[in-house]
A and B are shown apart, each in its own frame.
Chain A
Amino acid sequence: MIRRTVDDISTGSDSDYSNSWISWFLSSKGNEYFCEVEEDYILDRFNLTGLNADVQHYTQALDLITDNLDDDIQDEFRGTLDVQARLLYGLIHARWIVTARGLAKMLEKYKRGDFGRCPRVLCQQQPLLPVGLTDVPYEKSVKLYCGRCEDIYSPKSSRHGSIDGAYFGTSFPHLLFLVYPGLIPPKSGPVEFAPLTRGADAESSRRSRKVREEEPPADLGNEGVSTASVALKADRYRPRIFGFQVNELAKLMRWQEAVRDRQVARLELLEEHGLM
Chain B
Amino acid sequence: MSRKAQMEAIEQPEYVEEEVVSGEGDEVMEDIDAQEEGYSSSTPTSTLTWISWFCSLPGHEYFCEVAEDFIEDDFNLTGLNTMIPFWKEAMEMVLDVEADEDAAKIPDVSIVEASAELLYGLVHQRYILTRAGLQAMVDKYEAGTFGSCPRVMCKGTNIVPCGRSDMPGIDTVKLFCPNCNDIYTPPSSRFQGVDGAFFGTTFAHLFFQSYRELAPAPFYRPHSPSSSSGSPHSSGSSPRQTSAFINPNINGGQKRAAGKVYVPKIYGFKISERAKCGPRMQWLRMRPWSPDELDEVDWRGKWIDDEDDYGEEEDDVDEDRPMEDFDPDMGEGDEDEDEEEEEEDQQPPSSQKGKRVMHSASAPSLRPALPDATSASPRPSAPLQPPQEDLRYASRDQGYGSGSKVRVVRQWAPRGTTAQA
Contact = CB atoms under 8 A, between A and B. Distances in A.
A252 B174 contact: no
A121 B185 contact: yes
State which size class the interface on B falls in: 35 or more
A257 B301 contact: yes
A249 B216 CA distance: 10
Interface in A220-262: 223, 226-227, 229-234, 236-243, 245-262
Interface string A141-156: 0010100111111101
Interface string B277-296: 11111111111100001111
A252 B257 CA distance: 13
B294 A252 contact: yes
A226 B201 CA distance: 36
Contacts of A261: 301, 391, 395, 402, 404-405, 408
Given A121-B185, A241-B202, A241-B205, A153 B264 contact: no
A237 to B, nearest CB: 5
B1 interface: no
Max chain A Cβ within 10 angstroms of own Cβ: one of B174, B265, B386, B387 = B387
A12 interface: no
B256 interface: no
A265 to B, nearest CB: 4
B258 to A, nearest CB: 13
B297 interface: yes
A269 B184 contact: no
A268 B390 contact: yes
A154 B380 contact: no
B273 A254 contact: no
A174 B297 contact: no
A174 B204 contact: no
B288 A275 contact: no
A150 to B, nearest CB: 4
Contact of A256 (B201, B286, B405): B286
A123 to B, nearest CB: 9
Contacts of B404: 257-258, 261
A55 to B, nearest CB: 22
Max chain B Cβ within 10 angstroms of own Cβ: one of A156, A245, A269 = A269
Interface stretch (B2-10, B325-333, B346-354): B325-333
Interface stretch (A74-82, A101-109, A176-184, A193-201): A176-184
A208 interface: no
A119 B378 contact: no
Contacts of A112: none
Contacts of B400: 238
A151 B421 CA distance: 19
B265 A240 contact: no
A267 interface: yes
A120 B184 contact: yes
A272 B380 contact: yes
A254 B405 contact: no
A171 interface: yes
A83 interface: no
A267 to B, nearest CB: 6
Contacts of A223: 276
B405 A249 contact: no
A253 B185 contact: no
Max chain B Cβ within 10 angstroms of own Cβ: one of A238, A240, A241, A246 = A241
A264 interface: yes
A273 B328 CA distance: 36
Nearest to A125: B185
A184 B277 contact: yes
Contacts of B409: 265-266, 268-269
Given A178-B266, A236-B182, A261-B405, A151 B276 contact: no
A197 B304 CA distance: 50
Interface string B345-376: 00000000000000100110000000000000
B241 interface: no
Given A248-B253, A258-B301, A150 B218 contact: no
A273 B378 contact: yes
A173 B265 CA distance: 9
Contacts of A171: 265-267
Contact of A181 (B276, B293, B296, B398): B276
A212 B83 CA distance: 62
Contact of B283 (A251, A256, A267): A256
Given A119-B184, A153-B152, A232-B394, A258 B253 contact: no
Contacts of B293: 255
B143 interface: no
A263 interface: yes
B249 A122 contact: no
A236 B411 CA distance: 24
A73 interface: no
B53 interface: no
Given A156-B187, A171-B265, A259-B363, A249 B218 contact: yes
Given A252-B287, A261-B402, A271-B387, 16 more contacts: A119-B187, A150-B264, A151-B262, A154-B151, A227-B278, A227-B280, A231-B280, A239-B205, A249-B181, A257-B301, A258-B302, A259-B362, A262-B408, A263-B280, A272-B386, A273-B382
28 contacts: A119-B187, A149-B284, A150-B281, A151-B152, A151-B284, A151-B285, A152-B152, A156-B150, A175-B266, A178-B266, A227-B277, A229-B390, A233-B398, A234-B284, A239-B205, A247-B251, A247-B329, A250-B328, A250-B331, A251-B328, A254-B328, A254-B331, A254-B401, A255-B362, A266-B409, A267-B274, A268-B390, A273-B378
Q: 10 tightest A-B contacts by CB?
A: A260-B283, A252-B218, A268-B387, A150-B281, A177-B277, A265-B409, A262-B408, A265-B408, A259-B283, A258-B297
